[in-house]
C-alpha cells in the first residue's frame, strides 16, 4: 500500500500542477486537499484490481488518482460547517480552516470536475468505450443515488434512530459505492468478462461495508490523535452507525464476516489476488 | 428559444426522476435547482449548433440538459452564504433558502456528477469517442482553470480594482468557458471538422463575453423584479465588472462589438445559422 500511495501521489501531483494564474489559490486548495494524505485505500483497490488483468500502471495510476480526487472532494465538502463541521482531517486543518469556506467549496467542485476529465482523457485507456464506462460508473457511484445521496441520508439521520437495513443502505451509498467502483475500475480498465467484473464489484461492496463498520468501531475506540480526525464524533452528533444498532461486539463480528465474504469472492482469481484478500483482513484490523 | 426550453425541460425531468428512497430530499433539491427556470441560453446553443449538423434532438437534448444541470449546480453553489450569499434566483428562493445549506451543497455536487454521467451514456452518441470528447471538454470548461477558477478569481476580486484584461479573463473563466462549450458541443456531437468546431468555439467565446458584459450592464440598470435575481449587487459587493472598468456607455458599445464579431464567425454556415446570429443580437438587447 505504501508503494501504491507513492505512485498515486506522483500521479496527483502531475495531474494537478500548480499555476501562476489568478486562480492559483484554488489550485493550491485542490492540491492541499488531494495530496499528501490518507491510506489511499481506493487507489490501492483500483491499481490492484487492474493488476489482475496486467493493466500497465501508467493507466491504472490515472484512474486511482481520479478516484482519490473524487474522495478528497467529498471529504472537503463533508467537513464544511454546514455539513459535519469538522476542523481536522488527516491530522491537518481541514480545507475550509486552512483556506476559507468559499475556497473549500470551489476546490471540491473543481476536484470533482477534474476527476471526470481525467477518466475521459485518451491517456487513461486506448479504447474510448472503456473511458466512457469509467465515467458512467463513477457518475453513478457518487451522484444523488450514490455518495451524495448517502451524505444526504446521513445528515437527515442525525438525532434519529435508524434500523439495521437503513444504516446499511446509508453506508452503502455514502462510502460503499465509491469503494465498489474502485474495485470495479480494474475490471473496466482490463476489459474483463462480465463475470469477473461482477465478482470484483461484489468484493468491493462487501469490503466497503466491512471498512465502514470498522470505521464506526474505531470512532468509538480510537483517540483523535491516532485517527488524525476528530474521534467520538458520531456519538456526539447522534449519528446512526452499526455500533449504535448492533453494539460494539456484534458490529466487530459483522465486519469480520463481511471481510471474509469479500475475500471469498476472489477465490477464483488465484494467488494474483492475494494482496486484495489480505486487504480485506487489514480493513477490519487497522487502528486508524 | 421557448420551444428549446420546453424540450430541455422534458429532458431534465426524465433524467432527474423523483424517487421514493431516503435520498428523496436531495433529488427534490436537484429538481428544484434544475427544472423550471432560466432562459436556457446554454441549452439553446447546444441544440442549435447540433442542428447545424443535422444531429437528432434526442441526442442534443441530452447534451443540453447536461449543460443546464452543470449551470444549475454553479448557481446553487454561487448563491451559498459563503459565496455570493444570494437569497433569490430566477424569481424564487435560492436552493439553500428553500431547503438548507447542506442540501444545497449536496444538490450541486450531485447535479455535477449527473451531468458528466449523462454525457458518457450511450444514448448521448453512438460513438464513445464523441462522448469522451464531450466529457473532456466539459471538465476543462468548468474546472479549476474554467468556471470554478473564475468564481475563485471573482471572490478574490471583491473590493479590489481589476483592470480590463483581468476582468476579461475573470469573465472568460467564470461564464465564458461553459457558454463556449455549449456552442462547441454541437460540433462534437455532429462530428464536425476541426475548422467548423473552431468557428463555433470562437462564436461561443465572443457571445459569452458579450452576454456577460450585458449582464453587468443589466445589473446596474435593471430592477430586481425584472431580473428575477437581486439587482445592483455587483456594485454593492464592490465587484469588478466591465461597467466599472469602461463605464456604462463604453461597456454597452463593447458588448455590441463582441456580439457582431460572434455573429461574423458563422457567416460560412449560411442561412442555417440565422437563429444563432440573431441570438448574438438578443444577448445584448435583452432586459433580463
**Mean pLDDT across B122-138:** 98
Helix (H) and strand (E) counts in chain A: 16, 2
Confidence of residue B158 (pLDDT cuts 50, 70, 90): confident
Confidence of residue B38 (pLDDT cuts 50, 70, 90): confident
Shortest distance between the Cα of B137 and any Cα of chain A, in A, equals 8
User: Which three cell numbers, joined as nine digits, stand for B203?
Assistant: 462564436
Cα A227 to Cα A215: distance, rounded to the nearest angstrom = 10
Contact A150 B119 (CB under 8 A): no
Contact A116 B135 (CB under 8 A): yes
Transcribe A50-64 into DSSP letters. HHTTT--HHHHHHHH
pLDDT of residue A182: 98
Contact A112 B113 (CB under 8 A): yes
pLDDT of residue B287: 75
Q: Give me the residue from A16, A114, A173 closest to B23, CB to CB.
A: A173
User: Which three cell numbers, joined as nine digits, stand for B256?
Assistant: 455590441
Q: At what angle do helices A194-221 and A274-285 cross, to 10 degrees?
A: 20
**Mean pLDDT across B67-79:** 98
pLDDT of residue A228: 67
Cα A200 to Cα A268: distance, rounded to the nearest angstrom = 11
Do residues B1 and B44 make contact, with C-beta atoms less than 8 angstroms apart?
A: yes
Shortest distance between the Cα of A39 and any Cα of chain B, in A, equals 24
Contact B135 A135 (CB under 8 A): yes
Spatial CB neighbours of B90, under 8 Å, sequence gap ≥ 6: B37, B38, B228, B229
Cα B233 to Cα B216: distance, rounded to the nearest angstrom = 10
Give the residue from chain B lying closest to A151, CA to CA.
B106
pLDDT of residue A221: 84
pLDDT of residue A219: 87
Domains by residue range for chain B, with CATH: 2-285 (1.10.600.10)
pLDDT of residue B229: 66
pLDDT in tens, A30-53: 999 999 878 899 999 999 999 999
Instruction: Give the residues across from A135 on adjacent strands.
Output: none
User: Percentage of chain B with pLDDT > 90?
Assistant: 85
pLDDT of residue B227: 61
pLDDT over threshold 80, residue B288: no
B contacts of A239 (beta carbons < 8 Å): none
B contacts of A19 (beta carbons < 8 Å): 144-145
Question: Which residue in B30, B34, B72, B102 has the most chain A C-beta atoms within 10 A of its own C-beta, making it the best mutation to test that interface?
Answer: B102
User: Which three cell numbers, joined as nine digits, stand for B4?
Assistant: 428549446
Shortest distance between the Cα of A193 and any Cα of chain B, in A, equals 19
Count CB pairs under 8 A between chains A and B. Answer: 192
Give pLDDT tens digits along chain A (288 positions): 899 999 999 999 999 999 998 999 999 999 999 998 788 999 999 999 999 999 999 999 999 999 999 999 999 999 999 999 999 998 899 999 999 999 999 999 999 999 999 999 999 999 999 999 999 999 999 999 999 999 999 999 988 889 999 999 999 999 999 999 999 999 999 999 999 999 999 999 999 999 999 999 998 887 666 666 666 777 777 777 899 899 999 999 999 999 999 999 999 999 999 999 999 999 998 876
Contact A121 B136 (CB under 8 A): yes
Shortest distance between the Cα of B132 and any Cα of chain A, in A, equals 5
The dihedrals phi and psi of A92, each to the nearest 5 degrees, come to -125, 165
Give the residue from chain A lying closest to B79, CA to CA.
A102
ipTM of the assembly?
0.95
**Which has the minimum average pLDDT: B38-42, B94-98, B226-230?**
B226-230
Q: How wide is the angle at C-alpha B93 spanned by C-alphas B89 and B99, nearest 5°?
A: 120
pLDDT of residue A226: 64
**Mean pLDDT across B66-92:** 96
pLDDT of residue B286: 81
- The three-class DSSP label of residue B276 is helix
User: Which three cell numbers, joined as nine digits, stand for A59?
Assistant: 493507466
Query: What are the start-end ranges of the E strands in chain A?
Result: 88-89, 92-93
Contact A30 B131 (CB under 8 A): no
pLDDT in tens, B210-257: 999 999 999 888 766 666 666 677 777 777 789 989 999 999 999 999
The dihedrals phi and psi of B231, each to the nearest 5 degrees, come to -90, 160
Amino acid at each position: 500500500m505504501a508503494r501504491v500511495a507513492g505512485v498515486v501521489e506522483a500521479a496527483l501531483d502531475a495531474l494537478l500542477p500548480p499555476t501562476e494564474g489568478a486562480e492559483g489559490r484554488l489550485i493550491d486548495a485542490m492540491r492541499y486537499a488531494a495530496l499528501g494524505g490518507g491510506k489511499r485505500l481506493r487507489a490501492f483497490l483500483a491499481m490492484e484490481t487492474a493488476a489482475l488483468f496486467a493493466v500497465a500502471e501508467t493507466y491504472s495510476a490515472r484512474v486511482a488518482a481520479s478516484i482519490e480526487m473524487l474522495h478528497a472532494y467529498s471529504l472537503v465538502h463533508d467537513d464544511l460547517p454546514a455539513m459535519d463541521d469538522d476542523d481536522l482531517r488527516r491530522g491537518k486543518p481541514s480545507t475550509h480552516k486552512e483556506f476559507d469556506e468559499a475556497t473549500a467549496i470551489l476546490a471540491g467542485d473543481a476536484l470533482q470536475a477534474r476527476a471526470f476529465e481525467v477518466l475521459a482523457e485518451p491517456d487513461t485507456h486506448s479504447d474510448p468505450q472503456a473511458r466512457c464506462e469509467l465515467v458512467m460508473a463513477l457518475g453513478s457511484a457518487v451522484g444523488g443515488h450514490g455518495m451524495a445521496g448517502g451524505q444526504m441520508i446521513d445528515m437527515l439521520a442525525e438525532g434519529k434512530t435508524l434500523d439495521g437495513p437503513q444504516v446499511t443502505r446509508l453506508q452503502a451509498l455514502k462510502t460503499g459505492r465509491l469503494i465498489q467502483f474502485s474495485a470495479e475500475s480494474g475490471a473496466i480498465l482490463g476489459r474483463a468478462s462480465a463475470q469477473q467484473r461482477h465478482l470484483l464489484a461484489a468484493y468491493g461492496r462487501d469490503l466497503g461495508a466491512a471498512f465502514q463498520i470498522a470505521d464506526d468501531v474505531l470512532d468509538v475506540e480510537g483517540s483523535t490523535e491516532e485517527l488524525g480526525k476528530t474521534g467520538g464524533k458520531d456519538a456526539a452528533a447522534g449519528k446512526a452507525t452499526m455500533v449504535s444498532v448492533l453494539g460494539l461486539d456484534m458490529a466487530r463480528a459483522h465486519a469480520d464476516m463481511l471481510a471474509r465474504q469479500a475475500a471469498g469472492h476472489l477465490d477464483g482469481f488465484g494467488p494474483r489476488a492475494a494482496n486484495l484478500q489480505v486487504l480485506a483482513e487489514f480493513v477490519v484490523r487497522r487502528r486508524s
